[in-house]
Chain A
Amino acid sequence: MTTRTIVLIVAVAAAMASSPLTFAQNPPARPNWRPCPRCILDQQVRDAVAKVKDLPFNPRDLSGVWGNNDLLLDTKTVPPMTAWGKQQYEATKAEETAGGLAISNSKDGMLICDPLGYPRSLWVNDGFEFVMLPDRVLQFFEWSHTWRTIWTDGRELPDDPPVARWHGYAIGRWDGDTFVVESSGFDDRSWLSEDRRDRRWGFPHSDQMRMIERYKRASYVSLDVTVTIEDPKTYTQPWVTSGKIGLRPGTEISEYFCVPSESQDFNNRLLRPSVGAAPNK
C-alpha cells in the first residue's frame, strides 16, 4: 500500500467520523430534563451532594442551582423596632374572624402573588440559580419565576432612584474570594420575611433600607452567606443573618409562577373556609 493510499484511507475515515450520518448512527448522549430543586427528596439531595462535594472549584464562580429555602431570616436576633417600625409591624397582623380565629396570614402579599421583594426572595425561593456574566450576576428564583440583577460593571448605587423596586438596586464586587453585594432603593410594600415565630405577623422595612450580602464559596457544594440589613427608620440596630446555602446538583430551575387567579381560588376554597371566613371577591 502506497503512502498516498494510506493518506486517502485516513482522510475518508476522518470525514466519516465527523459526518452527520455517523452521528445519526451513534448519537451523543443528550441532556435530560432535570427535576427542580424542591422536586426531589432530601435523601436524593444528600446522595447527589456526596458525589460532588470534594470536586475542585473556582471560588470566584458562584454559578449553579442553590438552596431551597436553606437560609431563613434569623428570628433569634430581631433588633428592637423604632416607634414607626412597631406601627408597621402591628399593621401586618392578620385579620380575625368574628370568632377570634386568625385568617391565616391574610395581610401577607404572598397570598395574592404580590412580589416577595428582597431579601424575602432569598429566604423563600424553592431554589435559585446564580448566572455569572462579565458585567453582572443574575439570580433566578424558582418561586415566582423571577430574577434579580447584581451589576458588577463598576456603577454605584443611585442616590435617589426614580422608582422604588421590589428587589431594589444591587451592585456587586469581589473582596478577595467573597462576593459582596450592596443594595438599596427598595419598595417598602414588601416584608423582610413572614414572622416565623408567629405567622400572623410579618417584618416590615422602609424605603430607607440598605443591605450588604456576603457570599463565599466554602466548597464545591456550599456557600457561606451573611446578610446585614440596615434600616434605621424601622430597626434601631442592623439585623444580621448568617448561614449556609447548599448546591443542588442535578437540578434545574423550573417554572413556579405565582398565579393570582389560582391563589385566589385556593384561598377561597380552603384557607378562608378552614377558619370560617367568607370568601374574598
Chain B
Amino acid sequence: MRIHQVLVLLLFPLLTVLSATGVMSAHHSMAGYDTTKVVVLQGVVSEYTWRNPHVWVTWDVKDNTGKAVQWTGELPAINTNLSLGMTKNSLKMGDEIAVTVNPSKLGSPEGRVLKIVKKDGTVVMDINRRGGIQGELQQ
C-alpha cells in the first residue's frame, strides 16, 4: 500500500474480541476484508450515508504523489451505530478524519471501519465500545 498516511498495526487481541461478540458479523461474511490487518487512513469526508444494512462513509486520502484516493468504509447497521453514540449528523462533507479499518484483501480502497476520530480528537465511533454481553448470556 503506497499511501503515506497509512499505519499498519497488528491488533489480534482486539480482533478476537470483535469476532467473539458477533457485533458486525450478523448480516454478511467479512471474507472480503483482511481482518489480520489494521490500517489508519487520514482524509476528508466526501460522503456519509446513514442507512441500513450498513452505514458507510467515503473519504479522500492523499497518496505520496498528492493524488486523492477515495476510500469507502463499511460501518455497522444504524442500530449498532446509535449504541456507539453515532448519529445521522456525526459526519459532514469536508470533515477531516482518521479512520481505522480492516482493508480489502485485494488492496482496493474499501474497508471495514473500526474507529473514526475527527481532527480535533473527537471519537466519532469506536466499535470496541460495544461490549460483549452475548457471551455472558450463554454462561
Contacts and interface: CB of A to CB of B under 8 A. Distances in A.
Interface of A: 35-36, 38-46, 68-70, 72, 94, 99, 101-105, 108, 110-111, 124, 126, 142, 196, 199-200, 243-246, 254, 256-259, 262-263, 265-266, 269-271, 273-276
B32 A104 contact: yes
Nearest to B84: A41
B94 interface: no
A219 B30 CA distance: 36
A265 B131 CA distance: 30
A160 B63 CA distance: 64
A254 B80 CA distance: 13
A38 B83 contact: yes
6 contacts: A103-B32, A105-B28, A126-B79, A256-B77, A256-B79, A273-B110
A200 B33 CA distance: 14
A94 B72 CA distance: 23
Given A70-B137, A266-B53, A275-B31, A39 B82 contact: yes
B54 interface: yes
A40 B83 contact: yes
Contacts of A94: 29, 31
A259 B83 contact: no
Contacts of B72: 269-270, 273
Interface in B98-139: 104-106, 108, 110, 129-134, 137-138
B90 interface: no
B56 A269 contact: yes
Given A41-B129, A243-B138, A199 B29 contact: yes
A126 B82 CA distance: 13
A93 to B, nearest CB: 12
Interface string B24-45: 0111111111000000000000
B74 to A, nearest CB: 5
B88 interface: no
A46 B106 contact: no
B106 A274 contact: yes
Query: SS class of chain B's interface: helix, strand, loop or mixed?
Result: loop
Given A42-B133, A246-B137, A274-B33, A101 B28 contact: no
Contacts of B53: 258, 262-263, 266
Contacts of A102: 29, 31
Main secondary structure of the interface of A (DSSP, over half): loop
A265 B22 CA distance: 23
A200 B32 CA distance: 11
Contacts of A99: 106
Pick from A103, A124, A243, A276 the residue with the most CB of B within 10 Å: A276
Contact of B52 (A72, A110, A262): A262
A124 B80 CA distance: 14
Contacts of B28: 104-105, 108, 110-111, 199, 271
Contact of B29 (A38, A43, A105): A105
B87 to A, nearest CB: 11
Nearest to A127: B79
A265 B77 CA distance: 14
B51 interface: yes
A124 B78 CA distance: 16
A269 B82 CA distance: 22
B88 to A, nearest CB: 13
A254 B78 CA distance: 11
A194 B58 CA distance: 29
A39 B79 contact: yes
A246, A262, A266, most chain B CB atoms within 10 A = A266
B38 to A, nearest CB: 16
B25 A199 contact: yes
B109 to A, nearest CB: 9
Enumerate the 7 nearest inter-chain pairs by beta-carbon distance, A residue then B residue, closest first. Answer: A42-B131, A199-B29, A274-B32, A42-B133, A38-B79, A39-B82, A275-B32
